[in-house]
């Protein structure tokens, strides 16, 4: 059995197109391969002046009374201890209870089974589905502002309360 040049060329072309369209041709640094965000929460970090503060899965859960509760975690990844001094949204400061110190790899966790802190924004009146700019202030690392989503109090967040 003999394959014609035309058939061989079509077979090679189809193989090349399949590899290219499946992104295998983009290599190990393909932008679609490097996506790591798997939650609604915002992520950020402060990596300057010897600091390495990581903010993970930060979002707000709107409450029936107009307040909002912070969900997420903050991790210090350097030996020098830091502390969370405050959290604010457009002039509204959060009331923070619980742990605010950040020793190496001992996270501050807002909400959930492993929670060791709580941050409540009284009278924020943020609507579910909107985004707000939230600023976090640290003793050593300084300040970071992230754009976070406001979720409604249902599904995964049904148990979050002020």
The pLDDT value recorded for residue 16 is 74
Q: Give the pLDDT band (50/70/90) at residue 158.
A: very high
- Is residue 30 pLDDT above 80, yes or no? no
d(CA 100, CA 103) in angstroms, rounded, equals: 10
Q: Distances in Å between the alpha carbon of 15 and those of 18, 29, 74?
A: 5, 22, 47
pLDDT in tens, 60-112: 999 999 999 999 999 999 999 999 999 999 989 999 999 999 999 999 999 99
Share of the chain above pLDDT 90, in %: 74
Does pTM top 0.75 for this prediction?
Answer: yes
- pLDDT band at 35; cut points 50, 70, 90: low
How many CB atoms neighbour CB 24 within 10 A? 10
Q: Which of 40, 38, 36, 55 is nearest to 146 (CA)?
A: 55
Cα(147)–Cα(134) distance, integer angstroms: 6
As a whole number of angstroms, the distance between CA 49 and CA 156 comes to: 37
Predicted pLDDT at 114: 96
Q: The CATH number of 42-157 is which of 3.40.50.300, 3.30.70.270, 3.40.50.620, 2.60.40.1890?
A: 2.60.40.1890
Name the DSSP letter for residue 103: -
The domain ranges of the chain are 1-35, 42-157
Q: With 60 as the cut, is the pLDDT of residue 37 above it?
A: no
Average predicted confidence (pLDDT) for the chain: 90
What is the C-alpha separation between 60 and 47, in angstroms, rounded? 24
């Amino acid at each position: 059995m003999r394959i014609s040049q035309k058939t061989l060329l079509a077979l090679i072309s189809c193989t090349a197109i399949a590899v290219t369209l499946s992104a295998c041709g983009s290599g190990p640094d393909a932008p679609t391969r490097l996506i790591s965000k798997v939650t609604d929460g915002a992520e950020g970090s402060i990596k300057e002046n010897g600091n390495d503060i990581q903010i993970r899965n930060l979002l707000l859960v709107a409450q029936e009374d107009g307040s909002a509760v912070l969900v997420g975690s903050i991790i210090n990844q350097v030996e020098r201890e830091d502390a969370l001094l405050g959290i604010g949204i457009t002039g509204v400061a959060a009331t923070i209870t619980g742990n605010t110190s950040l020793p190496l790899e001992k996270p501050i966790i807002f909400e959930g089974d492993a929670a060791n802190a709580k941050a409540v924004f009284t009278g924020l009146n943020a609507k579910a589905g909107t985004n707000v700019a939230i600023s976090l202030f640290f003793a050593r690392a300084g300040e970071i502002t992230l754009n976070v989503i406001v979720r409604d109090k249902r599904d995964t967040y049904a148990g979050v309360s002020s």
